[in-house]
Chains A and B, each alone.
Chain A
Amino acid sequence: MSLSPEEIAAVRLSVRVAFWAVVASLPVGIAIAVVLARGRFWGKTLLEGLVYLPLVLPPVVTGYVLLILFGRRGVLGPFLAEYLGIVFAFRWTGAALACAVMGFPLLVRSVRLSVEAVDRKLEDAASTLGASRAWVFATVILPLVLPGILAGAVLAFARSLGEFGATITFVSNIPGETQTLPSALYTFTQVPGGDAGALRLSLIAIAVSLLALLAAEVLGRRIARRLEGA
């Protein structure tokens, strides 16, 4: 079973897109998870809804909203391109943005649950020992929610690898630039005689996803062992 250069490009692009989608959304995701877990403020429910929206919205809608916001003639697109030099439309960065948005709810949910599981009494103890809020976060909360962050990152990564609807709507299906693994797979199913290619890509998708889950499981167990105080 050998892959065509196009297929290899699609796989590599998918991994790159998923990787950057997760890396870029991690800091924001952790911050919002902490705010949702610990904050009490007006509009919390609204923020919650906004974060979880991509989970229930048809992906095509999410992609279309991204197009309206970040497209070449979108609301924010021209501004970002002119002042920050960031262009999303029809670029791999756009695919990463779409994947980040789609994976965001999974990331936030996982981190939030583990922040809520941190015993606040430990935070009180740290503060009586002289740790300011920022230090309590860095030395107590962050290490204790590490398993949750890891689990969330893996979920978001896996979701990004499989993201199709929002990506294809937002940045189309350009080989070498925005043609991720699912897009390439879709293309194969649209042409006569593409069955073998589709099967190959499916097997690769299964393998990559499985690998990611296994790696997370192993790492997670190691961290959990450390946190249980053994």
Chain B
Amino acid sequence: MSLDVSITHRLGAFTLDVAFHGASGLTALFGPSGSGKTTLVNIIAGLVHPERGRVVVDDEVLVDTARGTFVRPHRRRIGYVFQEARLFPHLTVRQNLLYGRWFTRREARTTRPEPVIDLLGLGSLLDRRPGRLSGGEKQRVALGRAWLASPRLLLMDEPLSSLDVGRKEEILPYIERLRDESRIPIVYVSHSLAEVARLATQVVMLADGAVRAVGSVESVLTGVDASAILEARVAGHDVAVGLTTLESRAGVLRLPQITLPVGSTVRVRIRAQDVLLAVRAPEGLSARNVLPAVVTEVGLKSDPVADVRLDVGGATLLAQITRETVHALGIEPGRRVYAIIKAVAFDRSGLGPGAAMSGPAGDIVDV
């Protein structure tokens, strides 16, 4: 599958001028509110006519303003999960789920209802009407409804933003299952770093209607919101002390036990403010994670804090320390240091596929 978008569209005060390529997996359109993300997916879905540009899915030209091509939304076979579930209030859950399937030609159907209903845990809701569903249940039905229309591309516009934190945690695993089991490429709009860090295969970062960066989660999201994203593999659990060991390019990391099986991949978000620096190998320290690193950049923009960028075995980590310490310790590019991260500092929300910490987490380590 391939998705090629290249459009220009005036939007009130600013102009959306975006070109990107989406492949299989989950492509996250990440950026602050008002950066044109929703308009962009509406253009891909066919709900908005772009002023200029092209949208191509799998070699089929859906929009080409130069030639006057515009395929109407119902002929695009592009699924859409909206911010609010938008279920049909007069239909039961079952009728909602099967709505799109009814319009799909028999040969084009790629799914059967039963497995989808099982996977999304909708079996007990089928005869209810949307008015009697919770927010999380509605969003699950919306996922199933879009999926059962057998789309070749699935758009999700902040599908979790109308839910509270608990409901978000409830839906995230379902989106992961959909991503991994449906094999339908997904374009996922979000302004939440945690969501994107957890779900995305590829990130397209937008700001003020333009693409700012495209690439892997690690490369695009490190530096955003003063934190680094690190891909890691679960190497083992030490049940006796309640710790999990992760292996990453940056080295071995220990953190409070998580519920993922050994061998699974996780993404860890490490906040710059949770990273300490030492110029000599520390001894007698309570912190569990001490990683040898090389300083690559010292940003002195925001007084009195300095942003230090570190190369840790090829991975990037960020540390926030005071400017005063920068001078006192002689921190400068090329300097060999040790990055110290407290085991409890790992961000629970940034932990990748299906991860949830079993111990306390989120303590802030001050520098």
Partner-B contacts on A (CB < 8 A): 119, 121-122, 124-132, 135, 139-140, 143-144, 226-230
Interface of chain A, helix or strand or loop or mixed?
Answer: helix
Smallest CB–CB gap between B69 and chain A, Å?
18
Smallest CB–CB gap between B214 and chain A, Å?
25
Instruction: Give Cα A126 to B88, complex, Å.
Output: 9
Would you call A127 and B73 a contact (CB within 8 A)? yes
Q: A124-B47, A125-B80 are in contact. Are A230 and B129 (CB under 8 A)?
A: yes
Would you call A229 and B129 a contact (CB within 8 A)? yes
Would you call A121 and B84 a contact (CB within 8 A)? yes
Q: A228-B131, A229-B131, A230-B129 are in contact. Are A128 and B47 (CB under 8 A)?
A: yes
A130 nearest CB neighbor, chain B only: B103
Q: List 30 A-B contacts (CB under 8 A).
A: A121-B82, A121-B86, A122-B86, A122-B88, A124-B80, A124-B86, A125-B80, A125-B82, A127-B47, A128-B74, A128-B76, A128-B78, A128-B79, A128-B149, A129-B79, A129-B99, A129-B149, A130-B74, A130-B102, A131-B99, A131-B103, A135-B74, A135-B103, A143-B90, A226-B129, A228-B129, A229-B130, A229-B132, A230-B129, A230-B131
Candidates A131, A135, A227; contact of B89 at CB < 8 Å:
A227
Q: How many residues of B contact A (CB 8 A)?
A: 30
Would you call A226 and B80 a contact (CB within 8 A)? no
For A143, what are the chain B residues with a Cβ–Cβ distance below 8 Å? 90
Instruction: List B90-106 residues whose CB lies under 8 Å from chain A.
Output: 90, 99-100, 102-104
Would you call B100 and A229 a contact (CB within 8 A)? no
Would you call B82 and A129 a contact (CB within 8 A)? no
Would you call B129 and A128 a contact (CB within 8 A)? no
Instruction: Give Cα A227 to B80, complex, Å.
Output: 23
Instruction: List B107-163 residues whose CB lies under 8 Å from chain A.
Output: 129-132, 145-146, 149
Instruction: Give Cα A131 to B84, complex, Å.
Output: 20
A228 nearest CB neighbor, chain B only: B131
Instruction: Give Cα A131 to B101, complex, Å.
Output: 10
B150 nearest CB neighbor, chain A only: A130
Question: Which 10 pairs from chain A and chain B are nearest by CB?
Answer: A229-B131, A130-B103, A129-B100, A229-B129, A128-B80, A125-B86, A127-B73, A229-B89, A229-B130, A143-B90
